[in-house]
């Protein structure tokens, strides 16, 4: 699922949920949701919202360093390895799936986008970050990077 970067069409949890429900009819399909950002408190909150909606694979743009990648990993994990909050949500079937919190860390997938010269210089370290499952190269943004 591509969340647009157009400022007049910012994705909301309800639009992400609608898209997730539309593909739920295809059980062999796993959505990849691109969050608008993944860094800092706002980025962590967005990632947590997507995961709470039931999204398992998240694509995060503009990851420049292994430290940023590790921060994103922590936002996708429950304690002790992360900062994802406990609470009933759609992903855990509002608490009806009691093992969800024990199994969720192994069910999420993090894809990051390398889109700057700095990120390209750190590519090996970003890819080696525990919890990063894949790296995409953003050629358009990379071409504009000094």
Q: What is the pLDDT of residue 93?
A: 72
Per-residue pLDDT in tens (0 to 9) along the chain, 146 residues: 555 455 555 566 667 666 666 666 777 777 888 888 777 888 888 898 889 888 899 999 999 999 999 999 999 999 999 999 887 787 777 788 888 888 999 999 999 999 999 999 999 999 999 999 999 999 998 889 88
Domain of residue 122 covers 13-144
CATH number at residue 61: 3.20.20.60
Structure tokens at 76: 């996708």
**How far apart are alpha carbons 83 and 55 in whole angstroms?**
17
Q: What is the pLDDT of residue 34?
A: 87
Domain-located, residue 109: yes
The total number of structural domains that make up the chain: 1
Domain-located, residue 6: no
Q: What is the edge-to-edge ordering of all strands in the sheet holding 57-60?
A: 32-34, 57-60, 109-114, 134-137
Domain-located, residue 2: no
Structure tokens at 81: 């390895």
Domain-located, residue 78: yes
- Collapse the DSSP code of 57 into the 3-class scheme (helix H, G, I; strand E, B; otherwise coil) and give the result: strand
- pTM assigned to the model: 0.85
Q: What is the pLDDT of residue 120?
A: 96
Give CA separation, 102 vs 56, 109, 110, 137, 138, in Å: 15, 16, 18, 32, 34
């Amino acid at each position: 699922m591509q969340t647009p970067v157009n400022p007049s069409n910012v994705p909301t949890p309800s639009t992400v949920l609608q898209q997730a429900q539309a593909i739920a009819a295809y059980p062999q399909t796993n959505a990849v949701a691109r969050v608008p950002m993944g860094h800092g408190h706002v980025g962590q909150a967005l990632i947590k919202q997507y995961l709470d909606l039931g999204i398992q694979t998240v694509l995060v743009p503009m990851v420049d360093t292994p430290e940023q990648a590790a921060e994103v990993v922590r936002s996708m994990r429950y304690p002790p390895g992360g900062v994802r909050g406990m609470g009933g949500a759609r992903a855990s079937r509002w608490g009806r799936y009691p093992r969800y919190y024990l199994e969720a860390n192994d069910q999420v997938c993090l894809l990051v986008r390398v889109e700057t010269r700095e990120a390209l210089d750190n590519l090996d370290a970003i890819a080696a970050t525990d919890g990063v499952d894949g790296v995409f190269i953003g050629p358009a943004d990379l071409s504009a990077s000094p």
